[in-house]
Amino acid sequence: MENVIIIGTGAAGLTAAIYTARANLNPLVIEGREPGGQLTTTTEVENFPGFENGIMGPELMDIMRKQAARFGTRYQYGTVESCSLEGPVKTLTLDSGETLEAKAVIICTGASAKYLGLPSEQALIGYGVTSCATCDGAFYRDVPVAVVGGGDSAMEEATFLTRFASKVYLIHRRGEFRASQIMIDRMNANEKIEVLYNTVVEEVLGVEEKSVKGLKLKNVKSGESSELAVDGFFLAIGHKPNTDPFKGQLEMDETGYLITDSTKTTLDGVFAAGDVQDSVYRQAISAAGTGCMAALEAERYLERTDHA
């Protein structure tokens, strides 16, 4: 049986791994479908302390991964499909069918990109519809693209995409952005970006052709419909916490975020850190901070229960 299994390899999971490995707990980290978490789908990270000139998201995660490995962290590829978390022995079942047992579990499964849910959008995912500008931006050289959203991610993605695209339309459902002013200013200063306020996407065009040809838009103020020719459609409308395997076992809020007291979940020996339990701050540094806290709390739990 493992001492501690950490699920997820974002900033929270890898920080929990560094701490539990240095505490000689020999952690096993389950690495899911998006190794490195959301930071691997971002560009430059300018607000992680210690990097005066910024660092690329994937590089930061690679360094954290190696740092955790240096102290003996083991990694196993897989996705947790179901689990039994009550009692002193926690059981996790992976998509491969393998079952793992641990005395403590730290859940750091993060959150995944949200989609609008339009049938045409769903049909074209991977064919011009994407939620990752960093991953796919370079495919859209010298063609127009659109980004939907009004938060920091939308500002960042729209600005990043101007490196490749001939024009970037930023579509937002309201008349003002929720993004931070510095990100809005940067976006506004970019002549390649045109903002379409009070506008919603009703359909992604190109389903027959199996490639995005444009968008059917509606201005929610005037009620007017229009079509916009674009070759790529980028979603930046926030994230959904990855908590499906824990439903019915751990308490969650109405959106699915795990409810924690510090990093303790509602079951003994089960801790959660990072975006899976944080709908407010959602920053790499706060995820890393809660990863550290979860590791220390897991360590104390193991000390207490092993000596009981």
146 contacts ligand NAP (rule: CB under 6 A): no
User: Least distance from C-beta 201 to ligand NAP, angstroms?
Assistant: 8
Stretch that binds ligand NAP, among 119-127, 207-215, 216-224, 235-243 (CB under 6 A): 235-243
User: Exposed, middle or buried, 220 (CB in 10 Å: 0-12/13-18/19+)?
Assistant: middle
Q: Cα separation of 268 and 109, whole Å? A: 18
Confirm if 296 and 19 have CB atoms less than 8 A apart. Answer: yes
255 contacts ligand NAP (rule: CB under 6 A): no
17 contacts ligand NAP (rule: CB under 6 A): no
Confirm if 78 and 94 have CB atoms less than 8 A apart. Answer: yes
Q: Cα separation of 200 and 260, whole Å? A: 35
192 contacts ligand NAP (rule: CB under 6 A): no
List of residues 6+ apart from 286 with CB closer than 8 A: 278
178 contacts ligand NAP (rule: CB under 6 A): yes
User: Least distance from C-beta 133 to ligand NAP, angstroms?
Assistant: 11
Q: What kind and span of H or E run contains 169?
A: strand 167-171
Confirm if 21 and 65 have CB atoms less than 8 A apart. Answer: no
User: Least distance from C-beta 152 to ligand NAP, angstroms?
Assistant: 4
216 contacts ligand NAP (rule: CB under 6 A): no
Is 136 among the residues known to form the active site?
A: yes
245 contacts ligand NAP (rule: CB under 6 A): no
Q: Cα separation of 43 and 60, whole Å? A: 11
70 contacts ligand NAP (rule: CB under 6 A): no
Confirm if 57 and 39 have CB atoms less than 8 A apart. Answer: yes
47 contacts ligand NAP (rule: CB under 6 A): yes
- Of the residues 135, 185, 244, 253, only one is catalytic, namely 135
58 contacts ligand NAP (rule: CB under 6 A): no
Give the C-alpha distances (Å, rounded to integers) separating 197 from 88, 109, 131, 154, 169.
Answer: 53, 33, 20, 13, 10
Which of 2, 121, 156, 299 touches ligand NAP (CB under 6 A)? 156
Is 135 among the residues known to form the active site?
A: yes
- Of the residues 83, 95, 108, 132, only one is catalytic, namely 132
- Of the residues 83, 108, 136, 275, only one is catalytic, namely 136
116 contacts ligand NAP (rule: CB under 6 A): yes
**138: Cα separation from own chain's centroid:** 21
Confirm if 277 and 257 have CB atoms less than 8 A apart. Answer: yes
Which x/- pattern over 270-289 shows residues binding ligand NAP (rule: CB under 6 A)? Answer: ------------x-------
121 contacts ligand NAP (rule: CB under 6 A): no
Is 231 among the residues known to form the active site?
A: no
Confirm if 37 and 109 have CB atoms less than 8 A apart. Answer: no
174 contacts ligand NAP (rule: CB under 6 A): yes
158 contacts ligand NAP (rule: CB under 6 A): no
Q: Cα separation of 19 and 35, whole Å? A: 19
User: Least distance from C-beta 62 to ligand NAP, angstroms?
Assistant: 19
Site residues (vs ligand NAP, CB under 6 A): 47, 116, 148-154, 156, 173-174, 178, 236-238, 282
Q: Which residues are catalytic?
A: 132, 135-136
